[in-house]
Structure formats: structure tokens, C-alpha cells
A and B are shown apart, each in its own frame.
Chain A
Amino acid sequence: MKDREEVMDNVAAHEDWKECFSRLAPGLVLFARQWVHSVADAEDIVQDAFVKFWRRQHDVGNRGLLYATVRSTALDLIRRDSRRARREREASREDNHTAEPQFYIEDDSQRALAAALDRLPHEQREVLVMKIWNELTFAEIGDALAISQNTAASRYRYALAALKKDLLPQ
């Protein structure tokens, strides 16, 4: 399997968008689902953002910009449709059992971990998603979220500490 750097080089060279997209899409859709609970909505967001990004022929070595585009597209979608925003807020208050799963769950410990992840504050969860499943650096996360690199790193540590405390109560 080609490593991530090679894939990103291909994106930058505009060679095989399908290979690049297939590598990035699961993480991008997971990232988009921080704002919308429906997989279909998240895929629409990723589709719009990726196409917008690709057409502009940006240097995809700047991954922060790609994720900033996804985030911006998601927020635009929510702003455009206030009813959708209300549904999303209601869905976020509902029991997570009714939501479409974000991960392939293999055992109870993973189920507990995914549930603990859902309980994190939004700003911590989005940093965690970008770091763990999208492999962005704190500098890239800072660019995408318009926060400092140190703030991104702090949110990440707070998120891990909260998960650890949630899963391993003293």
C-alpha cells in the first residue's frame, strides 16, 4: 500500500484523484459528521468541499485548507437550512443508539470508546478526529480551525484526558 505522503504527492500532482479521495474520504466524512449526524449529509458536504478544493487546484500538501473547506461547507449547510440545524441539535440530544454509527465496532470496549468520544465537547472531538483519523499535525489543525497550534495541542490533550477518565475511572 502506498504511504500517505506518496498519496498526497499524487493529489498535488493532480494524477489520480480517486486513489487520493478513497484514502482521505473516510476521515473527511467522519470529520464532516461532527456537524451533521446523517451520513448522507456528511457525504454531500465532503463531495462539495472536495470538488471545490480540487477545482481550485490548491496545493493539497496544505491539508489544513482541505479540512477548513469541509468545515466551512458544513457550517454553510447548517446556516442555509435552519430546520436542518434544529433537527441536528435534536438528534445530538437523542440517545446515540438511534444515530448512524461512525465506526466499525468490533467489541464492547470499542463501543464504550465510541460512546465516550460522543460525550466529548465539540471543540475537543473535532481536534481528536483530525489528529487520530486524519493524521493532521497540530499546525495543520490550527490552520483549519483558525486557532493556534498550542490551542490545538491543548484541546487534544484535554480530549485524551477526558476519555481516559471516562473509560478508566479511578
Chain B
Amino acid sequence: MNDFAEIENELKKLRPVEPSPAIFARVEADLREPVGRGKIVRPRFQINWVTVGATLAAAAVLLLFALFRFNQSTPAPLRAAASPAPMTRSTIPPSALLPAGTTQVVYRTEDEGLLFPSGSEQPMRRWRARTRETLRWQNPATGASLRVSYPAEEVTLVPVYGQ
């Protein structure tokens, strides 16, 4: 016998209010409707255009810097039998920026409940994660740095399995 047996018994004596009889008729009417009609609406996959735009902009910036670095580091004609000199502080051009780090901070996750995607045999749980990604470049010679930060959003569907 646990410490809460008495309070559990008292709770079980409370009877929930019965739903109205009309709900049975409404459920029956809904069940008779062909699938696809009535109130059941499948959730649509929504594209967040702001996030897409920010991501594309960040990708474009990355590409530009990659090209910039490529142009900067195009070597002079190689001499035979000479191993390439290591990139040292003195050999880095003053305007070169090297990737210095990437961070991704997840500042919010949200359980958006169950979905019933069409064509799926099982329900899915939708998780939405909002993050801020920061890319950083730095010139080790001069200490100059560039930082690009943009918001991102990731929606994950996780299958829900029965017991």
C-alpha cells in the first residue's frame, strides 16, 4: 500500500462529466464522409522564405570568399624539386582571409505535435529547431576578421512507433 492510496481512491470516485450525446452523431457523420472531405486537413509543408533567402545569401558570401581565396593563392609557376613552402604568417598575403571557425547555436526547439503525412503508414512528430549559424574568417597576418551570422530553421519529422 503506498502513501497515496487514499487520495488515489478519492480521485477515482470523481466521475468526469459525460460528453453530450451529439458528439456521437458528429463522429459518425465524420466517419461516413470519404477521406479527404470534411474537417480533416493534412498539414502542409511550409517553406520559410526568409530562412531560405538568408541561407542562400550566406552561401553566396561563402562562394565569393572561396573564389577570392582561390585567386589570391594561385601560385607562381612551380619549380621542380621544390617542396611547397608552408603557409606561415609572413607568406600569407595581407588581404587573404582564412576560415577560422563555424558555430551553430540552437536557441529554440519546439515539438509541434503529430502529423499524418499523406502516403505515410505511421504518424510523425514534427520538431522545429531555430538556430543561428556564424561563419568566421581571419587573416592571421593582420588579425583582420570577417564574421557572417544568419538565422536558420530546421524542421525534422521523426516517425512515431507504437509499443
| B101 CB within 8 Å of chain A | no
Please tell me if the beta carbons of A47 and B30 are within 8 angstroms of each other in the complex.
yes
B45 contacts partner chain A, Cβ-Cβ < 8 Å: no
Nearest CB on A from B127, distance (A): 10
Measured CB to CB, the closest approach of chain B to A47, in angstroms, equals 5
Q: Number of contacting residues on B, CB 8 A?
A: 35
Report yes or no: A27 in contact with B31, Cβ–Cβ below 8 A: no
A167 and B163 contact, CB distance less than 8 A: no
Bound complex: CA A123 to CA B138 (Å): 48
Contact of B14 among A56, A110, A140 (CB under 8 A): A110
> Which B residues are CB-close (under 8 A) to A143?
160, 163
Once bound together, how far apart are the Cα atoms of A65 and B123, in whole Å? 9
Chain A residues with Cβ below 8 Å from B14 are: 103-105, 110, 113-114, 133
The reply to whether B11 and A52 form a contact with Cβ atoms under 8 Å apart is: no
From B7, B11, B15, B38, name the one whose CB has the most chain A CB atoms within 10 angstroms. B11
Q: Known A-B contacts: A50-B27, A58-B123, A143-B160. Give 19 more (CB < 8 A).
A: A18-B28, A26-B15, A26-B16, A39-B19, A43-B19, A47-B27, A51-B31, A51-B40, A55-B31, A55-B35, A55-B40, A61-B162, A64-B163, A65-B123, A117-B11, A133-B14, A161-B4, A163-B11, A164-B4
